[in-house]
Structure 1
Amino acid sequence: MIDLPLSVLEVAVVQAGTQPVDTLVQTAPFAQGVERLGYRRLWYAEHHSSPAIGAFPPVVLIAHAAASTSTLRLGSGGVLAPNHVPLGLAEQFGTLAALYSGRIDLGVGRGPGTFDAATARALRRGGEPATDAEYQDDVAAILTFLTDNVATEPLPEPWLLASSTAGASLAARLGLPVAVAHHIRPHNTPSVLECYRSAFTPSRWCEKPQVLVCVETICADSEQEAERLAGPMNVIKAGLLQGTAEIPFPTPGEAATHRFTPQEQQALAAFRAHQAYGTPEVVARRLGQLAAMTGADELMLTTPVHALRDRLRSFELVKERVGTVG
């Protein structure tokens, strides 16, 4: 048993041989399934120009999912500040908070959400990547506009995403809850947490440090099935490790025929050691270890498995074995 709330991060993969609309039509059923299982919140990530992940604006997915659920918190994990006008984000999420009172989170991150340089420039209207100072100014402006220009109560709950000490330091200085991207840079997690907790300053948003840790989790009835479901994301990760262009998200059958180099196998094993894959017993033990290691207030699970039934089954098995989710 883990006496922590559990939540969900959705990255909206688009499997090879399907269209983005096929992923979109699963948005409402997935949100309803997550709500039915009792998870606390569901966040959507911002991505652009990826053949494997849909370019679906989080604010649109949040609105769509919120309209088909009643208790689930919905939010961004994250909306990427350098790609947007701060006032626009404040107005969008303020409107959502007015429509779905007490259910909207505004998770803010820094990255461009794409590996394509031309797309990154287009998102910035031809501008260069945001500097640290520009990003910090954007986050501060978003918070100011939320409080000064958005005449709705309650306001959306702001979070800052962090995968480095720079993000942790900003979250601490502004007194924001932090969502740690353990599923992206697990080796940074200890330093991120130490930086955040040691420098935290109370604010109107948060009286004491509040930590959410996101972990990649694939749970199935057997080790063999978990391995099969993890195959497509392993192929995607191997490509990224080699610095090659992104490819469509393969089917489990396609992934089973992929041959990894020894270096790729080593890197994937090192990453996997920090995440949670396997049977319910193995996943529950790993999540418990991660909760104890990080002292997290909440765990967020991301399950990059395309088939809706397999994703929901993974979350169901975790709920049955782990216990506390609400």
Structure 2
Amino acid sequence: MITVPTGALEVAMVQAGTRAADTLRDTTAFARGLEDLGYRRLWYAEHHHSPAIGAFPPVVLTAHAAASTSSIRLGSGGVLAPNHAPIMLAEQFGTLAALHEDRIDLGIGRGPGTFDESTARALRRGAGPATDDEYRDDVASTLRHLVDEVALGPLPEPWLLASSTAGASLAGELGLPIAFAHHIRPDNTLTALSRYREGFSPSRWCARPRVLICVETVCAGTEEEASWLAGPMDVVKAGLLQGRGDIPFPTPAQAAAHSFTAEETGALASFRAHQAHGAPESVARRLTDLVELTGADELMLVTPVHALADRLRSYELVERHVMAPAPRQP
């Protein structure tokens, strides 16, 4: 059993044969389902110009989900600072925090959110990738605007997203809780967390190092079913290994018919060994081991499977078989 709080990352996969609008509507049922199951947080990722992932702004989905639920924490996982003016991020999430007290998180990341260079440049108004100094200034400015110019009352809870030692060092320097993308760069996790803890400086946002680990989790009744459900994302990942971000998200049947190269098969197996796929017993063991290995204060599960019902079923199985029961209120 895992005893740390657990949340979910929504990447809004657009299923083969459906429209992005269908995925958008599913986000409401997903948020309500997670709240009913007792999950702590639900974050929305920023993506652009991908046939497999909906380009739904995290701030819009956060606002909609907050109006459709009553207790689950909601926010960005994350908004990508170089794509936005810091004062706009502060205003948007500061407003949400005032409207939905103690429920809004502001997770800030760095990547472009797209594999298309022209889209990345358009998002950044013609500028190239942000330098380390520019990114640091963007994050620091967003935090400053939250306090000095926006503060309407309760502030959103800020987190820094990272998948590298550089991002981890910045989170420590600024005294922010870190959300580490173990589901993207599991090879970096332990080194980055060590760097974060060693360099942490207490701040108004966080008195001590605080770690959230995001892990890809596909839980089903059997190992075979979990592998079947994970198949579509394997196809997308195989495309990314080739530098292609234009791969649609197939059905499980289409994924089962896909032919992978030996190199792709090896890379996917290596990645999967660090995630939590399988029947409840396997998922429980992997998540428990990950918490013990990393000293995580929280987990966040990302479950990129084809159908809403299968995604919610995965979270239900984790809640039932993996998560320790929440203590009863007196």
TM over 0.5: yes
Shift of 1:192: 0.7
Alignment of 1:125-164 (within 5 A): 125-164=125-164
SS in 1 for 2:171: helix
Alignment of 1:125-204 (within 5 A): 125-204=125-204
- Counterpart in the other structure of 1:277: 277
Shift of 1:154: 1.3
Alignment of 1:265-304 (within 5 A): 265-304=265-304
2-structure distance, mates of 1:151, 1:202: 21
- Counterpart in the other structure of 1:87: 87
CA gap of 1:198–1:263, structure 2 versus 1, over 3 A, is same
RMSD: 0.9
Structure 1 unaligned residues grouped into runs of 5+? none
SS in 2 for 1:90: helix
Q: Deviations over 1:69-120 (max 9, x none)?
A: 0000001000000000000000000000011000000000000100000000
1-structure distance, mates of 2:136, 2:321: 40
1-structure distance, mates of 2:127, 2:324: 45
Structure 2 unaligned residues grouped into runs of 5+? none
Alignment-mate amino acid for residue 271 of structure 2 = F
2-structure distance, mates of 1:26, 1:145: 33
SS in 2 for 1:87: helix
1-structure distance, mates of 2:122, 2:246: 19
Alignment-mate amino acid for residue 263 of structure 1 = E
Runs of 4+ in 1 over 3 A off after TM superposition: none
Shift of 1:128: 1.1
Alignment-mate amino acid for residue 284 of structure 2 = A
- Counterpart in the other structure of 1:98: 98
Shift of 1:323: 2.3
Alignment of 1:252-267 (within 5 A): 252-267=252-267
**How many residue pairs align between the two structures?**
326
Alignment-mate amino acid for residue 3 of structure 1 = T
Larger deviation: 209-218 or 14-23? 14-23
Are residue 23 (structure 1) and residue 23 (structure 2) matched?
yes
1-structure distance, mates of 2:182, 2:203: 25
Alignment-mate amino acid for residue 295 of structure 2 = G
Over the matched positions of the two proteins, sequence identity in percent amounts to: 71
Shift of 1:306: 2.5
2-structure distance, mates of 1:301, 1:267: 21
Shift of 1:15: 1.2
- Counterpart in the other structure of 1:55: 55
Alignment-mate amino acid for residue 20 of structure 2 = P
In the alignment, is the contact (CA less than 8 A) between 2:50 and 2:245 conserved in 1?
A: no
SS in 2 for 1:188: helix
SS in 2 for 1:25: helix
- Counterpart in the other structure of 1:251: 251
- Counterpart in the other structure of 1:66: 66
- Counterpart in the other structure of 2:205: 205
In the alignment, is the contact (CA less than 8 A) between 1:4 and 1:325 conserved in 2?
A: no
Shift of 1:194: 0.3
In the alignment, is the contact (CA less than 8 A) between 1:40 and 1:325 conserved in 2?
A: no
SS in 2 for 1:15: coil
Q: Deviations over 1:275-313 (max 9, x none)?
A: 000000000000000000000000100000121110000
Alignment-mate amino acid for residue 272 of structure 2 = R
CA gap of 1:325–1:48, structure 2 versus 1, over 3 A, is farther
2-structure distance, mates of 1:311, 1:115: 25
In the alignment, is the contact (CA less than 8 A) between 2:218 and 2:276 conserved in 1?
A: yes
In the alignment, is the contact (CA less than 8 A) between 1:16 and 1:250 conserved in 2?
A: yes
Larger deviation: 100-109 or 222-231? 222-231
SS in 2 for 1:27: helix
Alignment-mate amino acid for residue 30 of structure 1 = F
Alignment of 1:209-228 (within 5 A): 209-228=209-228
In the alignment, is the contact (CA less than 8 A) between 1:39 and 1:325 conserved in 2?
A: no
